[in-house]
Amino acid sequence: MILDKKHAVVSGGGSGVGEAIALKLADESNLVTILGRRQEPLKNVANKHKNISWRVCDVSNSDEVNNCYKDIRSAYGNINIVVANAGVANSKPFHKMSVSDITSLMEVNLIGVFNTFQHAFMDMKADNWGRMISIASTAGLKGYSYVSAYTASKHAVVGLTKSLALELASKGITVNSICPSYIDTPMTDRTIKNITELTHISKEEAIEELVKLNPQKRLIKPIEVAKVVSWLCNKNSSSINGQNIPIAGGEI
């Protein structure tokens, strides 16, 4: 069955890329539930579109995701699309990292993706149709200095994508990840602030530093990521499976 009006879950939908994805899918007549830990940003995004509702949910907690999905399933029907976008980042030289610097990222960036996908699986299996999409990163495809924990967590998501895509291919479910380079979002704003504070360079110089590996020398716009999500959700995109799609101006 291919549903016309789908129920999409977007984790981390209260800001940045997640907000752009939620608005794009809502504009295309899907019912969208956005998830995050803070109520305020979620409410603000939901107020921008009648097709968007929100739930407070920490994606790193499997029980919380399961209970949240029970609630939204009874309100809006089976979950057809999951966009595992919630993510966190940190940056440190390897020798200064603690174990918690890596486990805290893994809990959200890997286990969070696992949880948001897994609890929607039975819905997708029942409908013989589904889209599992994660927002990984170019850091899932190559290495960068001083972000080894983040890079490891995004490589793990890329591995999960490749294997799940094979496992679920016969069930009408596709699994893909999107791998952007630096995007113009609050996460990048925080990175820029850190760089300016640590190195005393200007904001413009910090941005120049971040985009130097992107041949187009610019930050990616959140809508560019949202449009690829929308394309993957299209019923004619069912052969696109197990891909980790860079959006990086030619860096990859």
Under rule CB under 6 A, residue 37 binds ligand NAP: yes
Quickly count: other Cβ atoms within 10 Å of residue 235's Cβ.
11
CB of 241 to ligand NAP, least distance (A): 21
Q: Select the residue interacting with ligand NAP from 6, 10, 16, 226 (CB under 6 A).
A: 16
What burial class does residue 109 get, using C-beta atoms within 10 Å of its C-beta: 0-12 exposed, 13-18 middle, 19+ buried? buried
Query: What are the two backbone dihedrals, phi and then psi, of residue 227, each rounded to the nearest 5 degrees?
Result: -70, -30
CB of 14 to ligand NAP, least distance (A): 4
Under rule CB under 6 A, residue 85 binds ligand NAP: yes
- Per-residue x/- marks for ligand NAP, 107-146, CB under 6 A? -x---x----------------------x-x---------
- Smallest CA-to-CA distance from 148 within 210, 214, 91 is with 91
What burial class does residue 187 get, using C-beta atoms within 10 Å of its C-beta: 0-12 exposed, 13-18 middle, 19+ buried? middle
Nearer residue to ligand NAP within complex by CB, 153 or 241: 153
Whether the Cβ atoms of residue 160 and residue 106 lie closer than 8 Å to each other: no
Under rule CB under 6 A, residue 45 binds ligand NAP: no
CB of 28 to ligand NAP, least distance (A): 20
Q: Select the residue interacting with ligand NAP from 68, 183, 206, 229 (CB under 6 A).
A: 183
Catalytic residue among 69, 76, 150, 182: 150
Active site residue 150: yes
Biggest alpha carbon–alpha carbon distance for the chain: 57
Give the integer Cα–Cα distance in Å for 129 and 185. Answer: 31
Under rule CB under 6 A, residue 12 binds ligand NAP: yes
CB of 7 to ligand NAP, least distance (A): 18
- Burial pattern 26-57, b for ≥16 Cβ within 10 A else e, equals beeebbbbbbbbeeebbeebbeeeebbbbbeb
Q: Which stretch binds ligand NAP (CB under 6 A): 30-38, 97-105, 121-129, 166-174?
A: 30-38
CB of 76 to ligand NAP, least distance (A): 19
Size of the residue set binding ligand NAP (CB under 6 A): 31
CA distances from 104 to 13, 39, 61, 99 (A): 20, 21, 12, 9
Element of type H or E holding 31: strand 31-36
Contact residues toward ligand NAP (CB under 6 A) are: 11-12, 14-18, 35-38, 41, 58-60, 85-89, 108, 112, 135, 137, 180, 182-183, 185-188
Residues annotated as part of the active site: 150
